[in-house]
Structure 1
Amino acid sequence: MTLRLQPSEIEQAAKILREGGTVAFPTETVYGLGANALDEAAVAKIFAAKGRPSWDPLIVHVSDQAMLAKLAFSITQAEKLIQNFWPGPLTLLLPRTPEVPDAITAGRPLVGVRMPSHPLALALIRAAGVPIAAPSANRFGHTSPTTADHVLEDLDGRIDAVLDGGPTTVGVESTVLDPNQNPMLIYRPGAITPAMIEQVAGPVRIFQPIAAPQENPASLPSPGVGIRHYAPRAKLILVASENELHQQEERNVEEKIGILLPQGWTARPSTEVFPWASWNDGEALAQRLFAGLRELDNRGVTIILCPLPEASGVGLAIRDRLEKAARTK
């Protein structure tokens, strides 16, 4: 049975981590499944609990510069980004130190590191006194968790504890950036947008795989570039407009349909609706995205219809998650 701990029990959560256990905890993005990043046996428990393949690297969370120095060698571009965006939802791929277990990076020379801005996450890392490896706290490939209840839906009995800090605020995973390249390379879009990065540190480009990643590659170049991820149980169909949404409702009339419905859009009375957010409020759409997919799944729908925002600002991140979630293989 997985313990459900309250913020007042943070010392108990920290003790579990120090002793090699697993604790899910809130960050500003989504809930992460944490273990001591310098303990190879503890890291292995993350992969086992999630059913995560070894070729998919992890992100390590730190609370200060001294902890970062144990894991990675700094570069000039990274220092600019850290100064402007940490603590916050930006993961940097940096040259790893020998202390980092191979399992963290899938054997690659760069380690993904970030300093979360969620006060409970920072307090947990400081209390544990170790860097915490933490991918999203869900079964591999499934919809990411933004509440403790979501974590327990996937991982109850498979992890030692979940630290309940309420709903997350950003709602999509961190931006993952390789600052070693010129131009810098965004492997996964997030709340820290290309425009924000360029204003501080220069040009960026967004990762575009030449071919679809293999199902079992030797390793992925970064967290967040897997071919299919974030997926609900129901079939996910993406639409470009309200008109196309209504066409899909007519086309799938025999199915139990759910919709992530923007404010002001309409749906058939028989459709299960999750009230999403204003279509012009990208931050609110991101914050409610995974909660909406999970709620519609829990209502037993067989098809989820979801509009696809424009590819700008945080809309890039929402599109990235939805396009991966909608892949059939």
Structure 2
Amino acid sequence: MNTEIKNALEVLKNGGLILYPTDTVWGIGCDATNPEAVKKVYKLKQREDSKALICLVADDRMLKKYVKKISEAAHSIIDISEKPITIIYDEAQQLAPNLIADDGTIAIRIPDDEFCYQLSRKLNGAIVSTSANVSGQPTPKSFKEIVPAILKGVDYVVNLHHEKICDKPSSIIKLSNSGIVKVIRE
């Protein structure tokens, strides 16, 4: 795993794209603070950049770097959730501007996955994590379902968990600073 982290980290630091296994599905990733890298993700996915992407961070400490105010409810939801959960926070900061939604929000998950944790920790920053498919196409449930255009469009494919089957993306909850909670995806 250390070699894979080292290789992926080098690509991320140089503004490249990686294809990697997350705690949910295979993802396309880049350094979430690099606007040029984020632009490459949108281009590869053939997706409008008005549709925000999810980021992964290693832990609470890192989450605080990218979100101005984290409510107690967010901590509770993260603590009690038994499955991967992505929370959309108000007032995103210190991320690539083209990653932040028009309303100033950002979707972030703290993954329960050793590779993602180590990669984010060693990058000392957030990593974009969007499903490894062209926009509008089905999300691949395994590595072998990823289309050639995506495989060829990234700079590095992480050589881990190629046999892993993932049938579910994370749940997504929007948690506004005013206390309103809205389930976006169960």
Pair 1:52 & 2:12 matched = no
Q: CA deviation at 1:149?
A: 2.8
CA deviations 1:179-199 (Å, max 9, x no partner) are: 22665211111xxxxxxxxxx
| Equivalence for 1:175 | 171
Structure ID, larger Rg: 1
Is the 1:58–1:134 Cα contact (8 Å) retained in structure 2? yes
The two structures, once aligned, show a CA RMSD in angstroms of 2.1
Closer, same or farther: CA 92–47 of 1 in aligned 2, 3 Å: same
Matches of 2:154 and 2:168 in 1, distance apart?
22
Q: CA deviation at 1:41?
A: 0.9
Extract unaligned runs of 5+ from structure 2: none
CA deviations 1:192-250 (Å, max 9, x no partner) are: xxxxxxxxxxxxxxxxxxxxxxxxxxxxxxxxxxxxxxxxxxxxxxxxxxxxxxxxxxx
**3-state SS of 2:86 partner:** strand
CA deviations 1:145-179 (Å, max 9, x no partner) are: 23333335341221111213324455211111012
| Equivalence for 1:27 | 22
2:144 to 149, 152, 166: 149
Is the 2:24–2:169 Cα contact (8 Å) retained in structure 1? yes
Q: CA deviation at 1:9?
A: 2.4
| Equivalence for 2:101 | 106
**1:139 maps to amino acid:** V
Q: Mapping of 1:1-329 within 5 angstroms?
A: 8-72=3-67, 73-85=69-81, 89-166=84-161, 167-168=163-164, 170-180=166-176, 184-189=181-186
Matches of 1:10 and 1:97 in 2, distance apart?
27
Closer, same or farther: CA 8–111 of 1 in aligned 2, 3 Å: same
Matches of 1:75 and 1:109 in 2, distance apart?
16
Is the 1:30–1:168 Cα contact (8 Å) retained in structure 2? no
Is the 1:70–1:97 Cα contact (8 Å) retained in structure 2? no
Matches of 1:70 and 1:133 in 2, distance apart?
15
Extract unaligned runs of 5+ from structure 1: 1-5, 190-329
Q: CA deviation at 1:11?
A: 0.5
Matches of 2:28 and 2:157 in 1, distance apart?
8
Matches of 1:122 and 1:154 in 2, distance apart?
27
Q: Percent identity?
A: 24
Q: CA deviation at 1:78?
A: 0.6
Matches of 1:173 and 1:32 in 2, distance apart?
10
